[in-house]
Structure 1
Amino acid sequence: MKILAVDDEDSIRELLSIQLQKNGYEVLTAADGQAALVKARAADLIILDVMMPKVDGFAVCRQLKSDTLTMAIPIIMLTAKAEEIDKVLGLELGADDYLVKPFSLRELMARIKAVMRRTKQNNVPPQQILHVGELQLDIASYQAIIKGQPLPLTPKEFELLKLLLTNPDKAFSRDELLTHIWGYEYYGDTRTVDVHIRHLRAKLTVAPELADAIETVRSVGYRFSSR
């Protein structure tokens, strides 16, 4: 498994390389966002610093998650910023996890394993396509088609919609959705779920019956109604 470690500090890149190799991973490195974009397609997972010259980590994450060739590559963001808005922004851009510097190497290794475990759980046979009304989800390629037109979903929006559609009429609490889509690390940080649901509904308004079918269950969370 190849991990791309992206950080503008030589000492951080060296530390990550040593620790990752010690745990059996093959390591690629990049010192800035531009180099990260060039090397990203060769990686199975990306550890991405936010504050970098040329192109910052948020911009790199946004570009990778909007490219069909790299959108499924898990990203763990590293930053010295601890403000909640930065964490929420990273997650909304499609990052799979978020660590604030200084971080524990043991915790980083645990996060890598958790992210890869979730990624494997989301893998499905390449022929699996889900049809709901005028919506078609190609699970293998992370592509959504509605009324014959592409529906631009981020990977997290796609996973959230897939979970709701494959469990019709089941009410998921916000914490359950965080666990399924983002992992155990985000217990209590439910605002990102509400943001993603709002974005999903907005994008589905081209087929109002689908947007309306994502229902808010008072004091619980959300469900997709089949009625």
Structure 2
Amino acid sequence: MPQHLLLIEDDARLASMVAEYLEQSGFSVNHCGDGLSGLAHLTQPPAGAAPELVVLDLMLPDIDGLEVCRRIRALPAPLSTVPVLMLTAKGDAMDRIIGLEIGADDYLPKPFEPRELLARIRAILRRKVDNPAPNGKTLRFGTLEIDRDARTVTVAGAACDLTSYQFDLLVALAERAGRVLTRDQIMEAVRGRELDAFDRSIDVHMGRIRAAIEADPKDPKRILTVRGVGYVFARQQD
């Protein structure tokens, strides 16, 4: 069965080209031309067409892609955890940072090569289904529990709101507790794209993870920054 994608893009010509390319690559694609219809499709999809990933344009005629992403993340689970790949204007770093902060899993600047879009989609979906560690289902650190099979995170029994990508980043760190990892090593561990020299998206995601799992994100006890190197997940917590 093909994996279903939801494409929210107001440029009909671009959407048609992208949908055709992705369908030739084995996906099923539903297209919506504005944010509200995209949200409606996500919450009430046609039979058998619940999307497994949303490709979301930033510039839309009704509400912008940032607002669409906010509303997706505010939906009840599991809808709130659907991966979102955001299409942004080339060189607009602020929009990319904001998109990551509100829950986008990845971004791709326009114009883009269809092959790169396909590679990004496959990488996100692969991270969604892969279990990176064969031994044990749940990681426990004090009151923090990470269930790798259910892909859930709780602190003292309360659910934490993380995107699929942020969950994988947390697992990559937690599995290597006590070991300092560079940003490149963290990205490699989740099979993500390589960082370029000016890409600080990993830091944005770490901020979101801290906000979800730390009692005080400004004074973290679980995910520590090692200046000039990267991050380390503390073994002793709570």
- Distance in 2 (CA, whole Å) between partners of 1:54 and 1:137 is 38
2:31 aligns with 29
- Distance in 1 (CA, whole Å) between partners of 2:124 and 2:111 is 20
Letter in 1 for 2:195: Y
- Distance in 1 (CA, whole Å) between partners of 2:63 and 2:198 is 28
Q: Quote how far apart the aligned CAs of 1:142 are.
A: 3.8
- Distance in 1 (CA, whole Å) between partners of 2:210 and 2:20 is 44
- Distance in 2 (CA, whole Å) between partners of 1:61 and 1:203 is 18
Q: Deviations over 1:117-136 (max 9, x none)?
A: 232325889x9332210112
Q: 1:136 aligns with which of 131, 139, 145?
A: 145
Q: Tell me the TM-score normalized by structure 2.
A: 0.79
Moved more, 138-147 or 169-178: 138-147
Q: Does 1:150 align with 2:159?
A: yes
Gaps of 5+ in 1: none
- Distance in 2 (CA, whole Å) between partners of 1:93 and 1:165 is 23
1:206 aligns with 215
Preserved contact between residue 179 and residue 187 of structure 1 (Cα < 8 Å): no
Q: Deviations over 1:133-183 (max 9, x none)?
A: 011223344433222333344444433322222211111101222333581
Preserved contact between residue 217 and residue 223 of structure 1 (Cα < 8 Å): yes
> Using a 3 Å threshold, how does the CA distance of structure 1 residues 73 and 172 change in structure 2: closer, same or farther?
same
- Distance in 2 (CA, whole Å) between partners of 1:70 and 1:182 is 24
Gaps of 5+ in 2: 44-49
Q: Quote how far apart the aligned CAs of 1:221 are.
A: 0.9
> Using a 3 Å threshold, how does the CA distance of structure 1 residues 220 and 27 change in structure 2: closer, same or farther?
same
Letter in 2 for 1:147: A
Q: Quote how far apart the aligned CAs of 1:185 are.
A: 4.3
Q: Tell me the TM-score normalized by structure 1.
A: 0.83
Within-5 A mapping of 1:6-85:
6-40=8-42, 42-67=50-75, 68-85=77-94
> Using a 3 Å threshold, how does the CA distance of structure 1 residues 187 and 90 change in structure 2: closer, same or farther?
same
Q: Quote how far apart the aligned CAs of 1:48 are.
A: 1.0
How many residue pairs were aligned? Answer: 225
Preserved contact between residue 215 and residue 225 of structure 1 (Cα < 8 Å): yes
- Distance in 1 (CA, whole Å) between partners of 2:174 and 2:65 is 32
RMSD (CA atoms): 2.9
Letter in 2 for 1:21: E
